[in-house]
Structure 1
Amino acid sequence: MLIPKNNGDIPMTNEFTGKVAFVTGAASGIGAAIAKRLLDGGAKVALVDIDAGGLAAYAKRLDPDGLRTRVIEADVSDHEAVRTAVDITTETFGGLHLAANNAGTAGPNPVNIVDYDHEAFARVMAINVGGVFNCLKYQIPAMRTGGGAIVNMGSMVSTIGIHGMAVYAATKHAVLGLTRSAAIETAADGIRINAVGPGYIRTPIMDHLPEEVLVMAAKQHPLGRLGKAEEVAEMVAFLLSDRASFSTGSLHLIDGGFTAL
């Protein structure tokens, strides 16, 4: 069977000129790709991550003069840190129009429920669910005067179960519930809120895995390969743009066909 190829040559536009964006988990992986895509599209971007060193180094590569980015160290599970990060963004750039709530953790896996550590459970929930809640709580008021768009990072397991990853799947189900409910609450304010559901994406976090594991993960997708962070970033950019002006409260899968099986 022939597998279609994607050369990754994704065109950039200036559709985000004049917009201010807030991206969590921006130091590496999907978050870094999203931040770059929005910056390439003309936005000013607040890059938020708990990894201060990695974040500063990446921001320096993206924006050497520091004119269109602001680096903010924050743990998204800490609501005061998130509130401060949103305040810094609006004070620095004069508003907030776009947000990509990407920060998250897979937690220990594969681990069955009966063997899952309580402290690990609480931490994964605090980051994946509490982090999205905290971001929405403070981003929405910042956008109410002029509207905006938000994308939350779900997963291909936002609507299905997966062996050994029950806790992670539960958090991504919760992200979808937050997304849909928040979209209903904010529609009258001109704020659109969607979620994306990536499959297995080749990011730095996967670099430590044995090659045979990566090959096996790739084969889980009917397209026959791992996804690219840039492909997820392009989906996020679409949902944040006016091209998706009639989309809200939806999960947009980018999983290489995983959930179609």
Structure 2
Amino acid sequence: MSLQAYKPGTIDCTTEVDLSSIRGKSVVITGGAKGMGEDGVRAFVSAGAYVTFGDTDAENGEKLEKELGSNVKFVTCDVTSWEDQLAMFRSAIANSPRKCVDIVVANAGISGPDPAFTIEDSEEPTKPELKILAIDLIGVIYTLKLARHYFSKNPLNDESHDRCFIVNASLVGFLDVPGILQYMASKWGCRALMRCVRRTTVIDGIRMNLTGPWYVGTTILSPTVQEYCKSKNIVFAESRDAAAAWLKIASDPSINGRSFAIVPRDMAPKGYFDIGKDDYSEGETLDQLQDVLLRTSHRLQVKVEDQ
């Protein structure tokens, strides 16, 4: 596994994907019992991977495990629980013939009414529930922490292993949407995680990429919301195209630090494209400041006890 510093540059998403490198790899997917997660589980299994997936929906999870066979393991997992996620990763190690984890997709997420945004008709405000933030960002951080730990066990000089982390966020991480404080903060936060981790690939070989779906007709949107969107002539992206993007990323070890939009097929022939909005033009002020931070980041240069 080569250790390459992050380099800007968009990925051509129209080319055919060679899935041969995925065969035999150990994959972990959160939120894998339905929607995009389920499509991801099916896609990686079809490519010959060993897949361990977690979800709070035990009924669908167990049904999917039974359907797909011995290469698949379902674990009941609430991503806000460190203990649940740890158990899921341990199960993945046990499920893998090589006792490792190569690819992780942090997919679990929710949406819905946001009490943090609501203005109440009361004398004193009530403390808002932050469940959306807990699942959509804190849960992802737990997944990333665990993935980095177990990735580090994979030998760097063995091309049959990988250290690939994919976070399934949202195009909300690139766009303005009123009324969804927690969801929007979480998706921008996921983008921040990716931009942080991509800069240390040259040190630890861990590469990270992001997928950002447009509207997709999964259970994250209630039937009422889906009907409302359709009444506004919104065309939905396909859940299976998110899974296809994950395969594209996982199959090519040179893809690092990129964000991919999952969109309707009339916007992109394969249903996804490289967004190309995570870098600055050479010489502009933010590019110059970025260069200073990369050369002086004390979190890498200064001992932890001295920070």
Q: Normalising to structure 2: TM-score of the pair?
A: 0.71
Where in structure 2 are there 5+ consecutive unaligned residues? 1-15, 121-125, 156-161, 268-274, 277-307
Structure 1 counterpart of 2:214: 199
| Aligned-partner SS, 1:47 | strand
- Whether the aligned pair in 1 keeps the contact of 2:217 and 2:226 (CA below 8 Å) is no
Flag the structure with higher helix content.
1
Q: Normalising to structure 1: TM-score of the pair?
A: 0.82
- In 2, the alpha carbon distance for the partners of 1:45 and 1:251 equals 23
- With over 3 angstroms needed to count, the CA separation of the structure-2 counterparts of 1:152 and 1:118, relative to structure 1, is farther
**Equivalent of 2:68 in 62, 71, 78:** 62
- In 2, the alpha carbon distance for the partners of 1:250 and 1:136 equals 16
Q: CA deviation at 1:149?
A: 0.7
Q: CA deviation at 1:186?
A: 3.9
Count of aligned positions: 239
- Whether the aligned pair in 2 keeps the contact of 1:18 and 1:44 (CA below 8 Å) is yes
**Equivalent of 2:24 in 15, 18, 26:** 18
Matched, 1:115 2:123: no
**Aligned positions of 1:92-241 closer than 5 A:** 92-93=95-96, 94-108=99-113, 113-115=117-119, 118-120=127-129, 122-144=130-152, 145-146=154-155, 147-206=162-221, 208-209=223-224, 212-216=227-231, 219-220=233-234, 225-241=235-251
- With over 3 angstroms needed to count, the CA separation of the structure-2 counterparts of 1:187 and 1:229, relative to structure 1, is farther
| Aligned-partner SS, 1:172 | helix
What RMSD in Å do the two structures reach over aligned CA positions?
Answer: 2.6
Deviation readout 1:177-206 (Å, 9 max, x if unpaired): 112112223442222100100000122444
- Whether the aligned pair in 2 keeps the contact of 1:203 and 1:228 (CA below 8 Å) is no
| Aligned-partner SS, 1:174 | helix
- In 2, the alpha carbon distance for the partners of 1:167 and 1:130 equals 11
Quick check: which has more Rg, 1 or 2?
Answer: 2
**Equivalent of 2:50 in 44, 47, 51:** 44
Amino acid at match of 1:26: G
- In 2, the alpha carbon distance for the partners of 1:207 and 1:31 equals 17
- Whether the aligned pair in 1 keeps the contact of 2:52 and 2:92 (CA below 8 Å) is yes
